[in-house]
Amino acid sequence: MAKECVFIDGVRTPNARAHAEKGWFKDVRPDETLTAVYKAIFERNPKVKPEDVEGVFIGTANVSGMQNDLGRISWIASGMPISVPTQTVTNQCPSGMSAIMNAARSIISGENSIMLAGGAEDMEKVPMGANMDMTPRLWDYINPAEVPMGNTAEKVAEQYNVSKEDMVKFAANSNRLAAAARDAGKFKSEIIPIMGKQEDGTEFLVENDQWIRDNPDEERMMLMESPFKEGGVVSAATSSPLTAGAAIVLIMSREKADELGLSYTYKYSFGTQAGNDPSVMGVGPIPAVQQLFKKTGLGPADIGAVELNEAFASQSLAVIRELKLEDSKNVPFKKVNTWGGAMALGHPLGQSGARIIVTLLNRMKTDYPDEKYGIATLCGGFGNANAVLIEKV
């Protein structure tokens, strides 16, 4: 009989700018951000010992250099028991969410009862597409000029009629919401502070996300040009920035959690994955969530809170509008990303799918205690999108 999979805890590092001089984690490797979250999860949950974990699944989008078999290498290098099996999971941006889905499914099937899953990425140390050698046969099916991420964001803006004004308004609001959530201490229960460096080399304890712009200047943002297309409408201000960070969740079968006397509020209820046209990869959450609605019989009205990864403002608005997640066409929103999103918090590719689940759990517990369902969803390069349904138990 299928088991229930409950969320015991979820943590993340702050998200830092991925930049060789300006990035707070310029001297912190992706395995080290993972060490921080592994250690924190065991410190926060002393009833769970590392050797009790039956699997560690870690998502990362670019599996090369420092991120090669990141799951295994980070676990061993953290001094964790070698008897625990690990797996590095990769399918572009959804990698961290896929890792959690795979781990949750192994609990639901009864194969495992205690799992750790999440993701990590450092987009400066392992740049997007590092060491990728794409087969030319791919171009029989898709246009190479249309697959770079920024180009897909431009195409989505055009196809779904998302204006530059709307994108700027959305991105500025995301920054304001993130700053307000940070100042209200809302990220305190999910962020594990770690040591980093200022641009001048001074060491300090990084407690907050680096990219948040406290006072976004919409006029200036409107003037910023597209680095992706001549005369285009997408700019650095309406794109998720290059970021570094790690996030994980501790999940268990409900029986195991009860046996250990651990408390929980939410369970992994359902997950879907959808493939979509790589040239508009950003709208992948539309079929992923539509599938989730179809298979569960739920609809937008049943969902109390949504975490949608803001890869680009254009795809975020297209997804929110097409799925009718909100009553209004643009911010302020009631359910989606009310603590800000990747426009402000950053998007360390393979980490983000895990980060939005951690934030969704935290947001639901804090701001939507009476809501039964929440959804976390994100798109991925080459057209792979995931969605996860969280349910109050």
Ligand X SMILES: CC(C)(COP(=O)(O)OP(=O)(O)OC[C@H]1O[C@@H](n2cnc3c(N)ncnc32)[C@H](O)[C@@H]1OP(=O)(O)O)[C@@H](O)C(=O)NCCC(=O)NCCS
| Residue 347 in contact with ligand X, rule: CB under 6 A | yes
CA atoms of 232 and 227, how far apart (whole Å)? 8
* One residue of 237, 319, 345, 389 binding ligand X per CB under 6 A: 237
Query: Which region, judged by CB under 6 A, interacts with ligand X, from 51-59, 63-71, 236-244, 261-269?
Result: 236-244
Q: Is 325 exposed, middle or buried (0-12, 13-18, 19+ CB in 10 A)?
A: buried
Residue 196 interacts with ligand X (CB under 6 A): yes or no: no
Q: Buried b vs exposed e over 100-113: b needs ≥16 C-beta within 10 Å?
A: bbbbbbbbbeeebb
Per-residue string for binding with ligand X, 242-261, x by CB under 6 A? x-------------------
Q: Of 53, 221, 251, 390, which one interacts with ligand X (CB under 6 A)?
A: 221
Site residues for ligand X, 112-151, by CB under 6 A, read 149-150
**Which residue's CB is nearer to ligand X, number 113 or number 210?**
210
State the DSSP code for 275.
E
CB–CB of 340/334 below 8 Å? no
Distance from the Cα of residue 299 to its chain's centroid: 23
Residue 287 makes contact with ligand X by CB under 6 A: no
By CB under 6 A, is residue 381 in contact with ligand X?
yes
Q: Cβ of residue 164: shortest distance to ligand X, in angstroms? A: 13
Q: Where are the alpha helices (DSSP H) in the chain?
A: 30-44, 70-77, 95-108, 149-159, 164-183, 218-223, 254-260, 285-296, 313-322, 342-345, 349-367
Stretch that binds ligand X, among 114-122, 137-145, 181-189, 240-248 (CB under 6 A): 240-248
Residue 340 and residue 318: Cα distance in Å, rounded? 17
- Dist. CA 177–CA 79, nearest whole Å: 38
* Residue (158 or 371) nearer to ligand X, CB: 158
Active site residues: 93, 347, 379
The single residue among 47, 49, 188, 220 that binds ligand X, judged by CB under 6 A, is: 220
Contact assessment for residue 90 and residue 126, using Cβ atoms and an 8 Å cutoff: no
Q: Give me the residues that bind ligand X (CB under 6 A), please.
A: 93, 149-150, 213, 216-217, 220-221, 227, 236-237, 239-242, 311, 347, 381
